[in-house]
Structure 1
Amino acid sequence: MKAIGLGLALLMSFPVAAQQVIYQLDGKDYQGYFAKAQGTAKGSVLLIHDWDGLTEYEIKRADMLAKLGYNTFAADLYGKGNRPVETQAKKEETGKLYNDRDKMRRLIFAGINESKKLSQDEMVVMGYCFGGAAVLELARSGEAPAVKGYATFHGGLTTPDGQNYNKLTAPIFVAHGGADSGIPLTEVAELGVQLEAVKANYEIQIYSGAPHAFTVFGSERYQEVADKKSWHTLIDFLEQNLHP
């Protein structure tokens, strides 16, 4: 076990080969981030950002995944240079996409298409907070049969009127904080009911005492135990569903 731990520590210390990627949708520039897998790629991950937009947090997560052998593309759903700082601005940006689900899906697919240009491996789509809600939007659409799995961390869980999981084509992993005051456990339970009704392959983990955004390094809400447990489960999820 010590040798394995030392090997992993050495791997994580190596720098990642990465690049900023400019791509377009409807004539507008978007700026993603691609972290190339170290060693032989085990598969691909599309990472969708939280309501801050694509920032250093998503870049760090992408690098972490790349060091574990996954080509990771962090997509941009806001547009190049649009990284809101004030809470009201963040609400406005997410509100635009919550109110235009078609555009949200097209933005996700733009990220998927760009990721495929960089890596042809099988893909899992994951996201944090707003990005988690976007992941479930894609999962419900049934429009991404090539996606091998969906993972959401402290993300929005409600299903819009007129939508359901009848077209779900891949497993779902949901990581949720038991003390999340913004997304109560009643919404977690309702999601479970919906997924069970369609006989989905899913796993929901609830971490006691963990607030919303419990994975965000350096924040007052960060909870190390919940972060590490959910991260380890994600790695297991990737290994189970991606087959290089």
Structure 2
Amino acid sequence: MAIRTRTVEYQGPGGPFEGVFVWDDALSGPRPGVIVFHNVMGLKAFDVDKATELAGLGYVAFAADMYGKGKRPIDRDAAFMLGNDARSDRRVLQERLLATLATIRAQPETDAAHIAAIGFCFGGTCVLDLARAGADVDGVVSFHGVYDRPPFANADPIRAKVLVLHGWDDPFCPPAATVDLAAELTESKADWQIHAYGHTGHAFTSPTASGPGLAYQPDADRRSWLAMRNFLDELWG
């Protein structure tokens, strides 16, 4: 195994953007690609580490940038300002998502016919909006995402399979919001699953999570990553 990385600059509304592409150059030929969408704190080592784990499983991965080249918030206030700006126009956000999809698809190591996306917190919104847009991806996985739907119609049907990995005590998405998401995905004819973890709040995959309703939960972290692996195996096994 020889994990390699390269920085990739790409264009989209509000760009340029700059993400990190990760692959194992001990493997030959194109292989399925997975986009990793960051949480509200922006692109950082955590996201590149997740992309590296995916490359170690035999995929190629792209740690995406949703804020813009050089926009790496250093504190929570700056991060929420960038996150709120990115969410302020969901059609523009979807255009950014589609630009990111085109970027991973264009990499020579990627099997362009087999793409999935995973996302954490704000990145969970990103993967759900990618699916809602009718993007040509095989599947999306939301880790402790935010579920509010855009103020316009979804693609009908949503073609991507959807896996939602959810902390049942998440204050940002209480049970009613989770039930609403299930109804929305059913209405849009998506193939969906929701796995809920008891006694678990928001940001359960982040060892540094702190604040009201935010806490790392090692069991949910381990179980959710395994659920994602099984989901990808089912897509492409």
Q: Amino acid of the residue matched to residue 162 of structure 1?
A: F
Kindly report structure 1 stretches of 4+ aligned residues shifted beyond 6 Å: none
2:19 to 29, 32, 35: 32
Counterpart in 2 of 1:150? 140
Counterpart in 2 of 1:137? 129
Q: Which runs of 5+ in 1 are unaligned?
A: 1-13
Counterpart in 1 of 2:234? 240
Q: Which runs of 5+ in 2 are unaligned?
A: none
Distance 1:27 1:98 in 2: 12
Question: Compared with structure 1, are the counterparts of its residues 212 and 44 closer, same or farther at alpha carbon in structure 2 (3 Å cutoff)?
Answer: same
Counterpart in 2 of 1:4? none
Shift, 1:176, TM fit? 0.5
Distance 2:182 2:100 in 1: 28
Shift, 1:21, TM fit? 1.6
The number of equivalent residue pairs is 228
Tell me the TM-score normalised to structure 2 length. Answer: 0.89
Q: Amino acid of the residue matched to residue 179 of structure 2?
A: A
1:96 aligns with 2:85: yes
- 43-52 vs 163-172, which moves further: 163-172
Q: Amino acid of the residue matched to residue 21 of structure 2?
A: F
Secondary structure at the counterpart of residue 44 of structure 1: strand
Question: Compared with structure 1, are the counterparts of its residues 25 and 197 closer, same or farther at alpha carbon in structure 2 (3 Å cutoff)?
Answer: closer
Counterpart in 2 of 1:230? 224
Q: Equivalent pairs: percent with the same residue?
A: 32
1:173 to 138, 142, 163: 163
* Alpha-carbon contact 1:54-1:74 (below 8 Å) kept: yes
| 1:47-196 pair list within 5 angstroms | 47-118=36-107, 119-121=110-112, 122-142=114-134, 144=135, 146-164=136-154, 166-196=156-186
Distance 2:224 2:153 in 1: 27
Distance 2:8 2:188 in 1: 38
Tell me the TM-score normalised to structure 1 length. Answer: 0.86
* Alpha-carbon contact 1:18-1:36 (below 8 Å) kept: yes
Superposition RMSD on alpha carbons, in Å? 1.9
* Alpha-carbon contact 1:125-1:135 (below 8 Å) kept: yes
Shift, 1:58, TM fit? 0.2
More helix by share: 1
Shift, 1:241, TM fit? 1.2
